[in-house]
Chains A and B, each alone.
Chain A
Amino acid sequence: MALTQALTIGIDIGGTKVAAGVVDPEGNILDRLRRDTPTKDPRETEDAIADIVRDLESRHDVIAVGIGAAGFVDGTRSSVLFAPHLAWRHEPLRDAVERRLGLPVVVENDANAAAWSEWRFGGGQGESHLVCVTLGTGIGGAILNDGALQRGKFGIAGEFGHMQVVPGGHRCECGNRGCWEQYASGNALTREARELALSGSPVAHNLLRAAAGDPRKINGPMVTELAKDGDPVAVELLEDVGRWLGIGLANLAAALDPGTFVIGGGVSDAGELLLAPAREAFKRTLTGRGFRPEARIVRAVLGPEAGMVGAADLAREEATWLRRVRVKTTAVTAKTAAARGGRSTRLDRAARKSASRRTGMRAAVDPELQPGQLQLNKTAELQGDPEA
C-alpha cells in the first residue's frame, strides 16, 4: 500500500471527551470511537488517547495520528502551551503520545485542523487565500495562504475570537473585555436569549416554552430551531449575532484580505439566518468598500467532525513527506535565493521555511542542491530536533 493511500487517525480532544476517527485520503471517516475523559489530568487524557488509538489500530492499518486540541499549540506542533478547558500548561503532548504508541503524532489547534479539512475537502477548496471562522461556544480561527496554515511565530496566530470589537465590553475569559467571541459566538447567542427570557418580555414566550419555562435551559440550538420555524425573536437573535459576525469579518478583511471566508461551528447550522445579516453588516463596515474586491462569505460544509478529519489529514501530510511538487518548488526558491546573493542567508532561511510550512515538516534543504538531490530529513523531525 502506498503511503498516500494510507489511513490515519484524527482525534478531537474536548473538555469532557476524546473522539477519534479513522480517516482515508479522501477525508472519509471509516470508523469512530469516543471515550469520556474523567479528569482534566494530562496523563489520563494521554492514556485515553493511546487506548482509543490502539483500539482503532487493531482494526485498521494506520500510519500516523493527528490530534486537534482547543488552545495554544506551539510552533513545532508538539506542545500545548495552554488549553482553556483542560488546565494544561506547556504540556508536551506529541512526545507523550508518540512514546505510548510508536506512531508519528501531530498536534494542531482544533480550529486550524477544521480549517485544513475545509480547504482540502469542504467549502474552501481551491481558495488561495482562505480564512476560516469557527463559531462554537467561542470563536476559533485559521488562516490558510496558498494551502499553508499560518501559525505565526509561536504557533498561536489566528485567534480571531479575542480581537477586541467593543472597548470596555463584555468580560472575556481571556482576561480582556469586548472580545469578538463575546458577541458573535454560541455563548453570546445563548446569553442574549437567556437575558431576553429573564427580562420577562412576552416576545420570548416561544423561547421559554422550548426551555420548559426555565430561562437557564435555553441554548443555541433551541434558538436556531425556533428561528427556522419562523419565530421572530429567534430570527432577531440570530440576526444580531450575524451582524456582529459581519462586523468582525470586515475587520479581518482589512487585516487579511482573503478571497473566501468559510464560517463553521455549531452556530453556522443556522445557515442563511446567520450569514445573510453577516454579509449585510460586512458590506456596510468594510474599509474602502466600493473600491476593492470583496471576499465571499460561505458556510462550512463538513460539520462538527471537520476538526477530526483535518487532524487526520495533517498527520498524513506529515507522514507522507515525499512530495515532488513541494521538493521542486523548494529547490527553485532556494536556488533563486542563493543566486541573489547579499541577503542569501536570510532568503535561504525563508526558502527552507516555505518548504516546511506546507507540510509542517522541518525540511533540511541545502540551497546548493539540484532538484533531484533534495533530501528531507524525516528522522530529525521525529526526534523533534527544532533546527533540523
Chain B
Amino acid sequence: MGLTIGIDVGGTKIAAGVVGTDGTIGARAHRDTPANSVDETARAICDAAAELIADHDVEAVGIGAAGFVSSDRSTVLFAPNLAWRDEPLGRRVADVLQVPVVVENDANAAAWGEFAFGAAKDVEHMICVTVGTGIGGGVVIDGELLRGAHGVAAELGHMRVVPGGHRCGCGARGCLEQYASGRALVREGRAQAESGSLAAAQMLSVCGITDPAELTGPMITMAAAAGDPCAVELLDDLGRWLGEGLASFATLFDPSTIVIGGGVSAAKELLLNSAKVAFEKNLPARANRPHPTFGLAELGNDAGIIGAADLARRPAPAQEKAAPQAAQAPEVTAPSDAPGAAAEQPQ
C-alpha cells in the first residue's frame, strides 16, 4: 500500500514508475515525448500512468517537468523544451486519471529523491545540482523543499557567474549552466578540436572520431576515464566552474551536504575532485565556518521518478500549516509590468 507514481518528463522520453514509501521502484512504463505538442505530451503522460494504474493501487501521481512550475504545483508557467506556456498540466492529467496529481520542477524532484532516499538521506539541509545538458538545482532547507513565492526558486543553473558572458537560453548572459553543464563541456571540447590543438586531435582519436562536430559529453567522459589529458582538463575546467558556483550557493543556503547528479556526474571523481578543490578555495570566510560535505548523487536517472512520486505523497508546506500571521498571497506581477510598480515609496 501507499504506492504513488513518479513520472519524469524529459525532452525525448517520458519515464514512469510505481514507487513505494521506501523509495523503491516497482513496475515501469515508458513513452517517447511527442515533439512540440502540448496535447500529445499530456496524453502520453496519462497513457504511461494509466498503464501502471491498471495493475496497481495508486494514491497519487507526481510529475517532474523541466521548466517553471507555479506554486500551485499544477501549472507549468514555462517549459524550455516543451512549448508549454501557462499549461494546467496537473489538472488535465488529474481529470483523465481521477487521482490527485502534483507537478514539480524536474530538478526539484531529483533533489528530493536524493534527499529522501539517496545521497542526502541523513541530513536536513542540502543543495543538489543536476548537471546534464543544462544545470538544474534543488534546495532543501530544514527538511523542506524550497519552492519560493511563485514556485520557481532554486534555478541555480541560471545564476550569473560571468558578467557579459555566454548568452543563455533563459535570456540572460553568463549563467552558470553556460560554463558547467554538459553543453558547455561539448562546446569547449569542440572549440578546442576546431582550433587545431594536437591534444584535442588525440582526444578525438581516443573517441574514435575525426569530425569535432561528432564529439559528445559521454565521449569526453570516456576519454578522460581512459586518461586522455585533454579530456581530463575539460572536465577539470567544468568542475572548477561548478565548485566556484557552489561556493556562492553555500553562502546563501548554508547546507550540510552538496550533491552533484545528472548525466555529467557519470565522470565521478574526474568532475567531483576539481569541483571540491574549487569549492574549498572559494568558500567565503572559509577559515571561520563549518564546511558542507560533498557527494555524488546515488539514484542516477531514477532520482526524478522517485522524488516526484514521494512529493506526490506530501502536501506542500503551505497547505500543511497555518501561517503564524496573516500572510497574504504573494503578489503576482504580470511580466510586462515593472516589478517595482507596486513598490512602496521611501518614507
Contacts and interface: CB of A to CB of B under 8 A. Distances in A.
Interface of A: 72, 81-82, 89, 123, 126-129, 141, 143, 145-147, 150-160, 162-167, 172, 174-176, 179, 247, 250-252, 254-260, 271-272, 275-276, 279, 282-283, 285-299, 301, 323, 325-326, 328-329, 332-333, 336, 340-343, 346-347, 349-350, 353-354, 357-358
B78 A292 contact: yes
A129 B148 contact: yes
B284 A151 contact: no
Given A259-B149, A296-B333, A154 B254 contact: yes
A8 to B, nearest CB: 18
A176 B279 CA distance: 11
7 contacts: A145-B141, A150-B142, A179-B284, A279-B338, A288-B78, A333-B320, A350-B124
B321 A354 contact: yes
B323 A299 contact: no
B342 A296 contact: yes
Contacts of B340: 275-276, 279, 296-298
B196 interface: no
B317 interface: yes
A287 B170 contact: yes
Interface residues of B, number: 87
B335 A290 contact: yes
Interface string B147-175: 11111111110111111000010111001
A58 B59 CA distance: 62
B236 interface: no
A336 B252 CA distance: 31
Contacts of A165: 160, 163
B85 A254 contact: no
A296 B339 contact: yes
Nearest to B344: A298
A128 to B, nearest CB: 4
Nearest to A151: B254
Interface of B: 2, 21-22, 68, 77-78, 85, 116, 121, 123-125, 137, 139, 141-144, 146-156, 158-163, 168, 170-172, 175, 244, 247-249, 251-256, 282, 284-290, 292, 313, 317-318, 320-333, 335, 337-340, 342-347
Contact of B21 (A159, A176, A332, A342): A342
B262 to A, nearest CB: 18
B254 A152 contact: yes
B285 A72 contact: yes
B125 A153 contact: yes
A128 B324 contact: no
A152 B253 contact: yes
Nearest to B315: A336
Contacts of A297: 339-340, 343
Among A159, A250, A288, the one with the most B-chain Cβ atoms within 10 Å of its Cβ is: A288
Nearest to B123: A153
A22 B121 CA distance: 44
